[in-house]
């Protein structure tokens, strides 16, 4: 099915899957920075990112990817929430218990992911925020739109206010402690699997407030926006919404790119922590617009005949997004941490970003191969079984072991 065709009730929306696959790429490009360097997010320069090429790669990652793609993933989570509601209604099953179990399962998976593989996990946050949407699902579009705007504005103003207070207080930048923490983390991640887990627990205890004051409110805002879009079947009738998509692309770039630049340049210089906070406030305010431009541009492309090829490439990865998200962390943990090759601290942003694209390219191929033989991704199958309290079919009908099927 192409994105230009009307989706019938119960049919999977390939356009949504393709957008989710696209979001996976951006998330990986950002996440791999944490795997490859303990200097990421520490507020001090990375010794492996000093050349012109490395700094250019750092600028591209910060300008184009950071603070945008988790918003797209969050929007699609809210959109899919409405699809889950419709599925429960079609099947005549109670929605709340099913979604409650799904969120619990998501939280457990996220907790294991955070402790063992990647302390920057987003699944636990999604599980908590999903509960908020579950409670508020009967509220109208106006309420959700106002709540989304309030969350974005409040979060941006909060961090701008923190920057202002730091200026007034004259708080110095403690680079000595930051360098010591980065060295300690590097030793832990290169040590043993046990020291990796201990370091993850240490960092989880330190960054929870950042998640709560940066990612969580903006992700919830995008949940609400996605929920509204799902109610209006935005992607099921994508061709009918072509003019709004064109306006989103245009205005999203006009508003979003300056905010991204205000965030990116202080973030790569790392010479003024207050300016970095003002940059963070700017991107928190404008990133939803740039995220909307990304999504709108991709939708418009996929509505074209040539773009349908791209949709077909991305959609399988998006259909098993949970498996692919966890697999990305598993591969990165093996490459960079003490579980495997211990590459952490040995390369700059350019090589790390190249590895991210290579991993994603492999996932595109593997996802298509897997879904040619199986109905669900392996983690999706487990979560669905827990959600419905029954074992769903796994192998596609008519596919025999060892056979070749074009999905």
Environment class of residue 160 by beta-carbon count within 10 Å: exposed (0-12), middle (13-18) or buried (19+)? middle
**pLDDT tens digits along 29-51:** 999 999 999 999 888 888 998 89
Contact residues for 341 (Cβ-Cβ < 8 A; gap 6+): 334, 335
**pLDDT tens digits along 333-378:** 999 999 999 999 999 999 999 999 999 999 999 999 999 999 999 9
Crossing angle of helices 123-136 and 141-169, rounded to 10°? 130
pLDDT values of the chain reduced to their tens digit, one per residue, 407 residues: 344 445 545 456 899 999 999 999 999 999 999 999 999 988 888 899 889 999 999 999 999 999 999 999 999 999 999 998 888 888 778 899 999 999 999 999 999 999 999 999 999 999 999 999 999 999 999 999 999 999 999 999 999 998 888 887 776 676 788 899 999 999 999 999 999 999 999 999 888 888 888 899 999 999 999 999 999 999 988 899 999 999 999 999 999 999 999 999 887 766 677 788 899 999 999 999 999 999 999 999 999 988 999 999 999 999 999 999 999 999 999 999 999 999 999 999 999 999 999 999 999 999 999 999 999 999 999 999 999 899 989 998 764 433 333 33
DSSP E strand stretches across 48-202: none
> How far is it, in rounded angstroms, from Cα 242 to Cα 299?
9
> How far is it, in rounded angstroms, from Cα 169 to Cα 304?
55
The confidence score (pLDDT) of residue 15 equals 93
Dihedral, 102, 107, 112, 114 alpha carbons, nearest 10: 140
> How far is it, in rounded angstroms, from Cα 196 to Cα 117?
8
Q: Which one-letter DSSP state was computed for residue 376?
A: S
Would you say the C-alpha torsion 201, 206, 210, 216 has a positive or negative sign? positive
Give me the count of residues in the chain.
Answer: 407
> How far is it, in rounded angstroms, from Cα 166 to Cα 162?
6
Dihedral, 390, 395, 397, 400 alpha carbons, nearest 10: -150
CB 377 within 8 A of CB 322: yes
Environment class of residue 406 by beta-carbon count within 10 Å: exposed (0-12), middle (13-18) or buried (19+)? exposed
> How far is it, in rounded angstroms, from Cα 212 to Cα 201?
17
The confidence score (pLDDT) of residue 378 equals 97
Q: pTM for the full model?
A: 0.91
């Amino acid at each position: 099915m192409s994105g230009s065709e009307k989706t019938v009730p119960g049919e999977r929306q390939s356009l949504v899957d393709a957008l989710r696959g696209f979001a996976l790429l951006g998330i990986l490009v950002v996440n791999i920075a944490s795997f490859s360097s303990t200097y990421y997010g520490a507020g001090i320069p990375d010794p492996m990112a000093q050349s012109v090429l490395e700094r250019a790669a750092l600028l591209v990652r910060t300008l184009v990817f950071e603070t945008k793609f988790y918003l797209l993933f969050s929007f699609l989570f809210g959109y899919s929430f409405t699809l889950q509601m419709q599925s429960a209604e079609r099947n005549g099953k109670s929605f709340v218990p099913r979604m409650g179990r799904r969120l619990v399962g998501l939280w457990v998976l996220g907790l294991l992911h955070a402790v063992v593989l990647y302390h920057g996990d987003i699944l636990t946050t999604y599980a908590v925020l999903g509960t908020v949407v579950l409670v508020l699902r009967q509220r109208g579009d106006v309420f959700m739109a106002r709540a989304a705007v309030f969350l974005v504005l409040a979060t941006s103003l909060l961090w701008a206010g923190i920057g202002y207070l730091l200026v007034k207080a004259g708080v110095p930048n403690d680079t000595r402690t930051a360098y010591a923490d980065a060295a300690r983390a590097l030793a832990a991640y290169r040590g043993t699997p046990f020291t990796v887990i201990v370091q993850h627990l240490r960092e989880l205890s330190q960054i929870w407030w950042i998640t709560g004051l940066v990612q969580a409110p903006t992700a919830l805002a995008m949940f609400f926006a996605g929920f509204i879009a799902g109610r209006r079947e935005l992607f099921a009738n994508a061709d009918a919404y072509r003019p709004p998509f064109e306006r989103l692309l245009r205005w999203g770039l006009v508003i979003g790119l300056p905010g991204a630049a205000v965030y990116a340049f202080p973030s790569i210089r790392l010479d003024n922590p207050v300016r970095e906070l003002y940059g963070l406030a700017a991107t928190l305010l404008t990133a939803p617009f740039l995220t909307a431009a990304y999504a709108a541009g991709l939708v418009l492309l996929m509505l074209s005949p040539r773009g349908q090829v791209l949709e077909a490439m991305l959609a399988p990865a998006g259909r098993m997004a949970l498996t692919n998200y966890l697999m990305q962390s598993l591969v990165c943990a093996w490459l960079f941490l003490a579980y495997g090759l211990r590459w952490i601290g040995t390369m700059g942003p350019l090589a790390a970003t190249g590895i991210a694209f290579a991993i994603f390219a492999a996932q595109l191929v593997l996802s298509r191969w897997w879904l040619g033989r199986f109905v669900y991704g392996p983690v999706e199958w487990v979560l669905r079984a827990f959600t419905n309290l029954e074992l769903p079919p796994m192998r596609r009908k008519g596919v025999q072991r060892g056979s070749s099927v074009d999905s």
